[in-house]
Amino acid sequence: MMVRKFHPIDLARLGDDKALAIAAYGQAVAAYRCIILAEKAVQNTLRASFETMAGEKNLERDRLQAALARLFPAACFFLAAGDKNLVCVGPRLVDARDDTRFDEAMRLLIASEKRAISFYNRYASQAKTAAVRELFLILAADGLERVRRLRRLFQEAGHQIVEPCPLL
């Protein structure tokens, strides 16, 4: 098994503008994954839950993009793979066409949510702008609640989830 090295980025040198862009990217990917899971969900309760989460993620993305436009109107970024890895795990497109792939897609969604929470919490202490710090702390708290909801959904659907380094 080949392990890919994760090269940490110096968050102190990142900048609030790029941090907002990275966070918005993570929210957009998460919304897209929730839409796919909603489309593939067999159970109506799962479908409705994923549709709701996709809507929440889109609202969070819009909030981040609005903050970026308001605070840094001239900002324009190319996000490298390392930037994207700060908030996402695995490929952007998830395959959820059967139970095994659905389970893997759920694990990616939860792992990405946890990675984004970590990014928000770590960057909040480095943020130079109070509005960015406050927004990231709110997103971290919202993300933690979403991880709990995802775990409950997974278990209620009759699936067992095994996560490396679970959050409370």
Q: pLDDT tens digits, the chain, 168 residues: what are they? A: 444 455 567 777 889 999 999 999 999 999 998 998 888 877 788 889 999 999 999 999 999 999 999 999 998 888 999 999 999 887 666 666 666 677 888 888 899 999 999 999 999 999 999 999 999 999 999 999 999 998 888 888 776 766 655 554
CA end-to-end distance (rounded Å), the chain: 29
What is the value of pTM for the model shown? 0.86
Closest CA to 33 of 96, 86, 114: 96
Residue 167 and residue 144 in contact, taking contact as beta carbons nearer than 8 Å: yes
